[in-house]
Structure 1
Amino acid sequence: MKKNFDLVKQYANDIITGKKLANKEQIQGCQRFLDDLNNKDYDFKVKDAETVIAIIEKTFVHDQGEKLDGTPLQGEPFLLEPWQKFIIYNLLGFYKAGTKIRRYKEAFIFIPRKNGKTRFVAALSWALALLNRKSGSKIYIVGAALEQSLQSFNFILFNLGQLGEKDNFRILDNNQEHSITGDLGDGSIYIKALAANPDRQDSLNCNVGIADELHAYKSPKQYNIIKEAMKAYTNKLMIGITTAGDNMNSFCYNRLQYCMKILDKTVTDEEYYVFIACADKDEKGNVDYLNPIEHEKANPNYNITIRPEDILNSARQAQNDPQQRKDFFSKELNIYTAAMNAYFDIDVFRYSNTQSEKELKINPNWDLDKKLKYLASLKIKWTGGCDCSKLYDLSATALHGEYKDIDISITHAFFPITQAARKAEEDNIPLFGWKDDGWLTMCNTPTINYSDLINWFLYMKKLGFKISQVGYDRKFAEEFYTGMKKAGFSVVDEPQLYLNKSQGFKRIEKKSIDGKFYYLGSQAYEYCVKNVRAIDKTDDAIQYEKTEYKQRIDLFDADIFATVRLIKSKEKSQKANDWLKGGN
């Protein structure tokens, strides 16, 4: 039974050859599928995929909507589009060679709104429940808010009513629970809609979890509590399905970046299925958002549920009204944007980092230690900065130097290990990822150990960095100041005045826009940059702060101190040169 196999394979080939417009990640996903059809590690079986497609198309109908010509859709068969069949074939078709164990245990499906995501989730939940009934199937549809998961749940109820099957199931749909339970003779099903609340969900048990609107999840625990509920099943499946949001430090955004690495083959994760539909960016991170080609790339249901004239009109409104642009990017092109009050465009920094790395002749594949040793070998006069925290919070150190016309920022973070797990979860800070990548030191003390910060400067000095001065804020830093003086460093109190810090801010901003700013691609530094909110003052200065209370900008702050020291040092040298010239 291969009714849809040829269609799915043709869909993949059409994407790869360009016959059908698609973004880079869709092309990579289709190539992955075709490559794996010939991968000896996997057996490919169509039975389960065909069964699920047949269940959906023979038992489900539309509950609302219209075709492009205005014909009502209610009551019409719910027929799957090729991209939806492609996803189902991937999820259910691959098995570890010689076993009954499915390959994919987790999936990330990233599509813009109005592409039929919610109803596809509902239909898939229903079909997977019936497919796995002999294992005692339990399906959880989980939204960040209950209202979101109820949209899928209510679509299932609607179709049970259309089938005349409601009386054959135990249905609870009240303020306490929203569930469907059924004994089918050769197995059972249980489908439940709930909100992601990890404090109340420690005893969950399921074989399929669907995390809807993942961008609205506040913490990884909301997702992981569902994923951990599947340990009793071998052929489990955790699906995250979402549209882009505007928090580039969120769990969803970090998951998106991870999944892109899977498709780029810079990370290997054979049990993770990825489908990403969005507009393409150019090398500077810009999107040609007025171009219908990009509209079609981003929307799998273009010309089906997405009306070309509607999305083009939205694009023109976004052009004429910048307030509408972020929503248009995130909801209709599926491009993550910074929060409305964030000052910097992180893509500008990333482009600058890439360009500067080429000019500095640094191999991007070098590890952090090799990059540091190379930078230490260059003839650069470095200045330092430090942002000390009170008791237990993020502290940061920085070195800032100029090589030819490129500014180089090297930053490092510090956090007490006893508080790290709690703060990482509460404030959604990827502390342990930074530690693994070499951007953070966990202090083995209940509070910040300032000797760790001092030792970092000593280590950098030992590597060969010539550090002339270190700027710091005396608040919370008496112990740091004393230790640095004993270690032989020149330490300068850097007042927390926006007029003073504005100089460093403007220099970093200009250098990044000019493509002359290098920060070693530090994810920790990017995290802080994305959290900066700034206001242009009447005196042409910049006053900045973090966008939200739970976010951090400490590495950026430390770099500002170091940059101000660099500026002051250059001004002092220039005055000395001018004096010498005048004396002559």
Structure 2
Amino acid sequence: MADNYPNVDAANKWAKSVTSGKIPACKWVKLACQRHLDDLKKSKSRDFPYKFEPKLAEKKILFIELLPHTKGEWALKRLKIKLEDWQKFGIACTFGWIRKKDGYRRFRESYWEVPRKNGKSAIAAGVALNMFANDGEFGSEVYSGATTEKQAWEVFKPARLMVNRSPDLVEAAGILVNAGSLEIPTDGSLFEPIIGDPPDGQSPHCAIVDEYHEHADARLYDTMQTGMGARRQPLIFTITTAGFNIEGPCYDLRVRVQEMLEGVVPDEELFGWIWTIDEGDDWTDPKVLAKANPNFNVSVYADYLESQQRRAVQNASKQNTFKTKHLNVWVSAKSAFFNMEQWNKCKDTTLKIEDFRNDPCMVCVDLSSKIDIAARINLFYRIINGKIHYYCIAPRFYLPYDTVYNGDEKQVIERYQKWLNQDLLTVCDGAENDLNEIAEDITDDAENLVVQEVPYDEWGGFQIAKKVDDAGHTSIKIPKITKVFSPAMKELEAAIASGRWHHDGNPILSWMVGNVVSKKGANDTDFPHKEKPFKKIDGAVASLMGINRILTLNSSPEESNLSSHLEKHGIRKL
């Protein structure tokens, strides 16, 4: 990076230190840094649609560092804001990436999940003022939105104070400071707080959403987003701590960020990172405090955090508050069962169904609802050095037209439509999946495959079983019980970790596998479960049914064991 962009240099150097392990950070921060560094390399390719413009990033950082502190000892000493390297990185990513085709900003959403006392309000105020007076937007409208007046003013009040204490900025930009708003009369730019459900009619250039975890629904976020249609490069900047309500819109957005960072569901216009501890970390260990708190010993001090940690250890009633506010742990949330980083490493885009014409195949079907997504998984397998290798190739997913365009689960409608445009979904007319169409697809494909069995779920698949059986194939009803699914979950987990699982990278299946959490039972058993209704797992469940049958054929004497079964089909072990 050029010498005249020292803040951007510092941001990139910091990112490299995080990915190398020199700076303590959790998985989500490391992935955010790695994404930026990877994209810098990709941007050199003509096909990559984005590039990083350090001049733009530097401009935004320098503007914030011209603003004065408004709280604490720094304000008392009349010091100006000095961004830490992690803050420079977040600002640089949010504002420095642009589209090659027109030069407008890449990211339309920026999500920062940061624990308390880490300078969130100062960052949010700096971003808001940048978008209000330092973005070249004629008639800019910036709103600070929250559920209460007090919360809405948590961002607007320090921003107003910053302007009041910056006469040079007031003069240069022509800012008029009102009691409840900031204006630039020459072009009609406006910055003001909004409380509760905002009315339609605004045309936001920027919306600051503070403490999003407190929002019961997504009305404010959605209204701001839909109002941005007339803006060329708008931004929704969300800055929050963790919370308790995993049914709320903040947790949904957090899930989007996680899926984006893991590469499960690409989202090129979303920047996000989450400062927290990793799964398996001991929350009572003082060593984890620095990992979750980027301003450790800068704006939030070790002795304060350690005292809060000790109180939480000694008093169970304070544990959840400490975990959410100082470690960003959503205490109501469950961890994903499967390791998606390992899953992604199992991706092999060279897998073609034509290369497995002579390999045994389970065609697995999960049809638990006629109006919801239906999954059909082609699961081939080979025995290599005495171990089962699984090959999941060309899965198919079905949805009714009404669900894709008018479904009740708003969190996934846009995703369904995107997958439909990518020819990853088969859409059935009307309000129900066409079970006859699914059955015909299976029997047609089976003519060119060695179909051992068609496992189907007992709650809906029976409706296609007869057609499958009439075509000369063997359908197997799979009961949805722990005895069936727990061994299959453990086998899939082991196969992913050891590289015995191979898949072609289908994004719908990857999304579904990432949604699986475990419903624990006696004797450390597992059962596939979804944390929220819209986080579908049908493709994962169908895959587990196939694994169950493959394990059964490999061990059951009444099936004449796997070797004889393969010989019956003229297939040799590898």
Q: What TM-score does the superposition give when structure 1 sets the normalisation length?
A: 0.70
C-alpha displacement of 1:415: 1.0
The residue number in structure 1 matching 2:442 is 457
Written as runs of structure 1 = structure 2, the 5 A alignment for 1:323-402 is 340-341=333-334, 344-347=336-339, 350-351=341-342, 354=345, 356=346, 364-366=348-350, 370-374=351-355, 376-377=356-357, 380-402=359-381
Q: 1:21 and 1:476, CA in 2 relative to 1: closer, same or farther beyond 3 A?
A: closer
Residue segments in structure 1 that go unaligned for 5+ positions in a row? 66-70, 172-178, 358-363
Distance 2:321 2:449 in 1: 45
Query: Are 1:142 and 1:194, in contact at CA under 8 Å, matched by a contact in 2?
Result: yes
* Structural RMSD (CA): 5.3
Asked if 1:153 corresponds to 2:156, the answer is yes
Task: Give the number of aligned pairs.
Answer: 529
The residue number in structure 2 matching 1:491 is 475
The residue number in structure 1 matching 2:194 is 194
C-alpha displacement of 1:498: 4.0
Query: Are 1:394 and 1:554, in contact at CA under 8 Å, matched by a contact in 2?
Result: yes
Aligned AA (2:207): G
Distance 1:477 1:9 in 2: 56
C-alpha displacement of 1:416: 0.3
C-alpha displacement of 1:304: 0.9
Written as runs of structure 1 = structure 2, the 5 A alignment for 1:1-400 is 7-12=6-11, 14-15=13-14, 18=17, 21=23, 23=30, 25-26=32-33, 29=36, 44=55, 49=60, 52-53=63-64, 56-57=67-68, 61-63=69-71, 65=72, 76-83=78-85, 84=87, 103=105, 106-110=108-112, 112-113=114-115, 114-131=117-134, 135-143=138-146, 148-156=151-159, 169-171=177-179, 180-182=181-183, 184-194=184-194, 201-213=199-211, 223=221, 225-234=223-232, 236-242=234-240, 250-258=252-260, 274=271, 276=273, 278=275, 299-308=293-302, 340-341=333-334, 344-347=336-339, 350-351=341-342, 354=345, 356=346, 364-366=348-350, 370-374=351-355, 376-377=356-357, 380-400=359-379
Query: Are 2:131 and 2:205, in contact at CA under 8 Å, matched by a contact in 1?
Result: no
Query: Which digits, 9 at most, give the CA deviation of each residue in 1:13-66, with x for residues without a partner?
Result: 6436749847464376479789999x9996946996477336523xxx323x5x
Distance 1:191 1:497 in 2: 56
Query: Which digits, 9 at most, give the CA deviation of each residue in 1:490-549, with x for residues without a partner?
Result: 1123334444444544543554465544444444334444244413136x7655544344
Identity fraction in percent: 16
Q: 1:7 and 1:442, CA in 2 relative to 1: closer, same or farther beyond 3 A?
A: same
Query: Are 2:363 and 2:378, in contact at CA under 8 Å, matched by a contact in 1?
Result: yes
Aligned AA (1:128): M
Q: What TM-score does the superposition give when structure 2 sets the normalisation length?
A: 0.71
Query: Are 1:215 and 1:253, in contact at CA under 8 Å, matched by a contact in 2?
Result: no
Distance 2:61 2:218 in 1: 33
Aligned AA (1:340): A
Aligned AA (1:26): C
Q: 1:202 and 1:353, CA in 2 relative to 1: closer, same or farther beyond 3 A?
A: same
Aligned AA (2:126): A
C-alpha displacement of 1:419: 1.8
* Partner secondary structure for residue 381 of structure 2: strand
C-alpha displacement of 1:456: 3.7
Aligned AA (2:538): D
The residue number in structure 2 matching 1:68 is none
* Partner secondary structure for residue 520 of structure 2: strand
Query: Are 2:338 and 2:516, in contact at CA under 8 Å, matched by a contact in 1?
Result: no
The residue number in structure 2 matching 1:360 is none
The residue number in structure 1 matching 2:451 is 467
* Partner secondary structure for residue 56 of structure 1: coil
The residue number in structure 1 matching 2:567 is none
Distance 1:399 1:322 in 2: 48
Distance 1:325 1:117 in 2: 23
Distance 2:80 2:553 in 1: 69
The residue number in structure 2 matching 1:569 is 553
C-alpha displacement of 1:399: 3.6
Query: Are 2:400 and 2:431, in contact at CA under 8 Å, matched by a contact in 1?
Result: yes
Query: Which digits, 9 at most, give the CA deviation of each residue in 1:272-306, with x for residues without a partner?
Result: 5847475898xxx9779999998657654233124
Distance 2:157 2:188 in 1: 20
* Partner secondary structure for residue 442 of structure 2: helix
Query: Which digits, 9 at most, give the CA deviation of each residue in 1:356-390, with x for residues without a partner?
Result: 55xxxxxx344xxx44334x25x532223322234
Residue segments in structure 2 that go unaligned for 5+ positions in a row? 25-29, 45-49, 565-574
Query: Which digits, 9 at most, give the CA deviation of each residue in 1:461-514, with x for residues without a partner?
Result: 35x431111122454445412322333321123334444444544543554465
